[in-house]
A and B are shown apart, each in its own frame.
Chain A
């Protein structure tokens, strides 16, 4: 038995080490240099032509079917790089990137990072290159933005006073009231209402003409998405717009520029009272609190919705075309109606999006790699580079038909991204989109609507600790506010009662309104 005991002991030792070692061991490789990032010569070529090995992680919206694909091969060829490429899609979330950065094993270059909060955290931890210091090497990229936009971009995109990412050019699509032109004509409404009272009368007229309709539709959504979308259309009229970047805190000009939270303002109360009236009279979507986006879309397509606060480009979007309604036609309002004699207020949309390339701080010591990447970024900002990223390769993914560029038959943006790896980057290509109805409509609407953007947004560069407080507290505040708004609109609480309103304000105080307000007051001056 003694011999058997030893055999069993040895076996047990091997098994236990396998089990515990695999789940716990840290072999201490964290500080070893990454072998994969060493520059390597390509076929013995020397100097500038040597292919530089670069680790790249990409955060695409549409993950590629295979790696390497035409996009990677083409970039490698044009810029003498050899990419060690990994795709971590947008929908995969940020967790894997966090693990990579925390482990010290992170890529040299992420061309399309979409996570401004995470970028700020990684920048503060020293993982990222302050790319703003290299902007002189990127004149084409810099030219994508006006001086005014650049200043705003620096204010929004900087961490500890430095720019660590290169934002993309935003293709803004103004949100406005879109309406059924044919229904307005049939109801004898000749102009889009200029005031809330006129809007109310218009909705009543439409309801009389189309009794089965919901004159004012509401885009649904999960959790509190429905009520949020409902209020989106009325906030401007009550001069109480929503600033997403500062979570609803802003300097209200009607209160001498004082910092307020829009959902704790008396204007918010007035707005809720008005919407409650519309709800009571059956002029807005009754199921706004529970409607899904699919249900809302179905109502739009079947002609049940006659007015909707949406993106202007929806008026030409084939996905919302009224193919089943003869003569059905969407139009967008050029102005925002107001609830008072003063004009509606709306924030100017930012012309940039905090979505774009970030660079490893390790590149500061590897000038050859950095230069190669910057050369690529700089080219990506040119019209040729924009076309390359958005459309791919001529006669492979797109064709030129008498000066009109379009995807080849059977291909669209998603398929080109999945099958070939191309998708727009840094800025959409004007050359490619000049015949795209949606793109042209956005551009037209931005011009037509420009006068309505009368408030310039401000940034609040919060510290990490403040950001955490704001995230937690404002989420709780929003829960309270949106539930209250839902009840107020549905008439479950009497919004005209001072007691109810003060009770609501007290609830917000208990959650921490003053604490967050104090944080924003430091920045929004």
Chain B
């Protein structure tokens, strides 16, 4: 590849790099500020002395959330369980369905495809889903958060496209060696499709990790709450106090606003909720880059 060293190209390179640095900074600085607050002394936070570096470094907020607040470690574990179970089921069901639907000679394929795509445009709505989950006896269980979202139409279509581009010759060779459809999928197709599988696993995982609304509807016991729901409640305390005050409920508002979770603890919880996803990315980056390109080129 010939490198373009012209003046115009250099200027363009400079602009591109400058924009990239700017984007990185505006993304990174708020995150640094959050981390910095979580490691700072609450008095310094109150005095507004925390910037990008912790002021009077201490770990009290982390001790609070890990050892004093019983809900946060428990909810962290719940989030891990929900994410792991949910993602495994998502990947399993999405790949199997996508593989089937990628076969052009599948009977009634157009009908199944249409049926798969429909939920992208119409959903049953919250109330029917709430009743369904309740009548299926799934309330307050991990199944209420994973089963209704087993397959995302969007990722299903992406995977169908991925499997369609899989070399037919490899599948035929596997069948000549005696593999059935399922064996072909498990032994040949999936190992060679890791880029796509890992990419959808990541997106499914992030979606489970960040989800709170379903948990709010279907979880009854505080012990089963995921971390994001606890975090939401912590963050909403101050908003709630202001709402109560605007309703004229001054005493309750004052009561609530004097018992707010300290800012350092709020931010430490936020950091704890971000870390697992940050840790996972580097390990799957090599698949992720390939996987995200799925469907970007024809042929």
CB distance from A317 to the nearest CB of B (A): 8
Assuming the A-B contacts A86-B220, A93-B236, A294-B45, are A245 and B97 also in contact, with contact meaning beta carbons closer than 8 angstroms in the complex? Answer: no
Which A residues lie within 8 Å of B60 (CB)? none
CB distance from A346 to the nearest CB of B (A): 13
A478's closest neighbor in chain B, by CB? B246
Q: In chain B between 217 and 244, which residues have their CB closer than 8 angstroms to a CB of chain A? A: 217, 220-223, 229, 232-234, 236-240, 242, 244
Interface string of B33-70 (1 = CB under 8 A from A): 00000000001011110000000000000000000001
B212's closest neighbor in chain A, by CB? A92
Contact between B70 and A65, CB atoms less than 8 A apart: yes
Assuming the A-B contacts A92-B233, A105-B131, A353-B249, are A19 and B43 also in contact, with contact meaning beta carbons closer than 8 angstroms in the complex? Answer: no
Within 8 Å of chain A (Cβ to Cβ): is B168? no
CB distance from B86 to the nearest CB of A (A): 13
Which B residues lie within 8 Å of A244 (CB)? 245-248, 250
Within 8 Å of chain B (Cβ to Cβ): is A40? no
CA gap between A349 and B103 in the complex, in Å = 72
Within 8 Å of chain B (Cβ to Cβ): is A45? no
Contact between A15 and B251, CB atoms less than 8 A apart: no
Contact between A12 and B237, CB atoms less than 8 A apart: no
Within 8 Å of chain B (Cβ to Cβ): is A67? yes
Within 8 Å of chain A (Cβ to Cβ): is B254? yes
CA gap between A474 and B73 in the complex, in Å = 42
B residues touching A (Cβ–Cβ < 8 Å)?
43, 45-48, 70-71, 93, 96-97, 100-101, 103, 105-109, 112, 115-116, 118-119, 122-124, 126-132, 134-135, 147-151, 153, 156, 180-181, 213, 216-217, 220-223, 229, 232-234, 236-240, 242, 244-252, 254-260, 263
Contact between A19 and B131, CB atoms less than 8 A apart: no
A32's closest neighbor in chain B, by CB? B135
Task: Give which listed residue, B116, B156, B217, B251, contacts A171 with CB less than 8 A.
Answer: B251
Within 8 Å of chain B (Cβ to Cβ): is A342? no
Within 8 Å of chain B (Cβ to Cβ): is A8? yes
Question: Can you list 25 A-B pairs, Cβ within 8 angstroms, ordered by A?
Answer: A5-B106, A7-B181, A9-B107, A9-B108, A12-B97, A12-B100, A12-B106, A12-B109, A19-B156, A20-B118, A22-B147, A23-B129, A25-B128, A29-B134, A67-B222, A86-B220, A91-B232, A91-B233, A103-B131, A114-B252, A175-B250, A221-B242, A294-B46, A353-B249, A414-B259
CB distance from A426 to the nearest CB of B (A): 14
Contact between B256 and A103, CB atoms less than 8 A apart: no
Which B residues lie within 8 Å of A317 (CB)? 258
CA gap between A295 and B49 in the complex, in Å = 10
Assuming the A-B contacts A9-B108, A64-B222, A103-B130, are A16 and B115 also in contact, with contact meaning beta carbons closer than 8 angstroms in the complex? Answer: yes
Which A residues lie within 8 Å of B108 (CB)? 9
CA gap between A102 and B126 in the complex, in Å = 10
Task: Give which listed residue, A24, A27, A96, A319, contacts B216 with CB less than 8 A.
Answer: A96
Contact between B119 and A19, CB atoms less than 8 A apart: yes
Within 8 Å of chain B (Cβ to Cβ): is A222? yes
Assuming the A-B contacts A23-B119, A26-B132, are A9 and B240 also in contact, with contact meaning beta carbons closer than 8 angstroms in the complex? Answer: no
Which B residues lie within 8 Å of A349 (CB)? 250
A6's closest neighbor in chain B, by CB? B107
CB distance from A23 to the nearest CB of B (A): 5
Which A residues lie within 8 Å of B244 (CB)? 114
With a 10 A CB-CB cut-off, give which of B45, B101, B130, B250 has the most chain A CB atoms. Answer: B250
Within 8 Å of chain B (Cβ to Cβ): is A282? no
Assuming the A-B contacts A11-B96, A293-B257, are A350 and B132 also in contact, with contact meaning beta carbons closer than 8 angstroms in the complex? Answer: no
Within 8 Å of chain B (Cβ to Cβ): is A99? yes
Contact between A24 and B119, CB atoms less than 8 A apart: yes
CA gap between A65 and B129 in the complex, in Å = 28
Task: Give which listed residue, A65, A114, A350, contacts B248 with CB less than 8 A.
Answer: A350
